[in-house]
């Protein structure tokens, strides 16, 4: 069924009307390079035709550059898989002068819907990124600050064995702050002279809200993980990196914070 729907969409997008209206159509040319940005590092890029060429940008693994080898008539496709597990598939068409040369896929992302039950037993409205990011702040003790930046873990909760992490980033500096993909790890609480006694990288199922936070503005970030259980002496750390800058931060969540996360039924 999915293949049929994609075939229909491909045919529609390659029609005269589709080339003007299809929101998921990626237009490329032989003379201009189109750059796509993703929320996390790219692990896989697949091209549907030899008419196009794509390259993950060196030193910035969340960018891919796309260009046409030569002018082509029929549409093709391109698929990109992020480290977070998110898959993006684009319909690719030729246009001598593309209207967009920089495309940020992060702005179009939304959380998959899930419907916890209300207290009266009836279904509640589905959650998406906007609803989660607008949740009332419940935590105030997990945070870090510096360089005019305040990072705070506002909420942790579990639904269907998926851990949700809601983080706010307040930029009180005079310069915009552009986030690169954070790194997540379960580590030993104490460090020795030789380093950490234990460290295990953790990869999010989904990441939402990564981007640029302008001066005097607040950005909301949502991350989801398979259920995490920490043992005594372990912590969950989130490493934030500024893209092209040195304003980097570490947010530490204790075993009590993670294991005691509120559970939504």
CATH number at residue 135: 2.60.40.1150
Same domain as 256, residue 162: yes
63-120 pLDDT tens trace: 899 999 999 988 999 999 888 778 888 999 999 888 788 887 765 444 444 433 333 3
**264: confidence class by pLDDT, cuts 50, 70, 90:** confident
Same domain as 149, residue 249: yes
Q: Domain for residue 31, yes or no?
A: yes
The structural domain count of the chain equals 2
Q: Domain for residue 230, yes or no?
A: yes
Same domain as 251, residue 135: yes
d(CA 40, CA 62): 5
Q: Domain for residue 227, yes or no?
A: yes
Q: Domain for residue 253, yes or no?
A: yes
Q: Domain for residue 26, yes or no?
A: yes
Same domain as 210, residue 136: yes
Predicted local confidence at residue 71, as pLDDT: 93
Predicted local confidence at residue 69, as pLDDT: 94
pLDDT(54) > 70: yes
Name residue, tokens 């490493």: 239
| Of the candidates 157, 182, 180, 187, the residue with the CA atom closest to the CA atom of residue 252 | 187
Same domain as 249, residue 147: yes
CB neighbours of residue 251 within 10 Å: 19
b/e burial code for range 56-72 (CB count within 10 A of at least 16 → b): beeeebbbbebebeeeb
Predicted local confidence at residue 20, as pLDDT: 36
173-189 pLDDT tens trace: 999 998 887 889 898 88
Q: Domain for residue 189, yes or no?
A: yes
CB 171 within 8 A of CB 211: no
User: Which residue segment(s) compose the domain that 198 sits in?
Assistant: 129-264
Same domain as 223, residue 137: yes
Same domain as 245, residue 214: yes
Same domain as 136, residue 238: yes
Please report which helix (H) or strand (E) contains residue 16, including its range.
helix 16-21
pTM score over 0.75: no
Same domain as 249, residue 145: yes
211-258 pLDDT tens trace: 789 999 999 999 889 889 999 889 999 999 898 888 999 999 999 999
CB 94 within 8 A of CB 27: yes
The percentage of the chain sitting over the pLDDT mark of 90, rounded to a whole number, equals: 34
Same domain as 147, residue 100: no
């Amino acid at each position: 069924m999915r293949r049929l729907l994609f075939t229909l969409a491909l045919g529609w997008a390659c029609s005269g009307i589709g080339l003007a209206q299809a929101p998921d159509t990626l237009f490329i040319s032989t003379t201009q390079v189109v750059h796509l940005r993703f929320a996390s590092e790219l692990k896989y890029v697949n091209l549907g035709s030899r008419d196009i060429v794509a390259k993950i940008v060196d030193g910035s693994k969340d960018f891919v550059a796309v260009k046409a080898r030569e002018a082509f008539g029929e549409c093709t496709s391109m698929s990109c898989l992020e480290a977070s597990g998110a898959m993006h598939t684009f319909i690719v068409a030729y246009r001598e002068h593309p209207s967009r040369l920089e495309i940020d896929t992060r702005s179009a992302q939304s959380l998959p819907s899930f419907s916890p039950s209300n207290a009266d037993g009836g279904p509640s409205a589905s959650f998406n990124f906007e609803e989660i990011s607008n949740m009332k702040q419940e935590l105030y003790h997990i945070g870090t600050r510096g360089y005019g930046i305040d990072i705070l873990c506002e909420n942790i909760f579990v639904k269907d064995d998926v851990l949700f992490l809601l983080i706010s980033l307040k930029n009180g500096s005079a310069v915009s702050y552009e986030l690169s993909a954070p790194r997540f790890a379960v580590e030993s609480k104490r460090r020795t002279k030789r380093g950490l006694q234990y460290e295990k990288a953790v990869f999010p199922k989904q990441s939402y809200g990564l981007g640029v936070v302008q001066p005097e503005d607040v950005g909301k970030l949502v991350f989801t993980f398979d259920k995490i259980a920490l043992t005594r002496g372990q912590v969950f750390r989130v490493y934030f990196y500024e893209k092209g800058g040195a304003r980097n931060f570490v947010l530490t969540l204790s075993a009590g914070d993670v294991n005691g996360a509120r559970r939504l039924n």
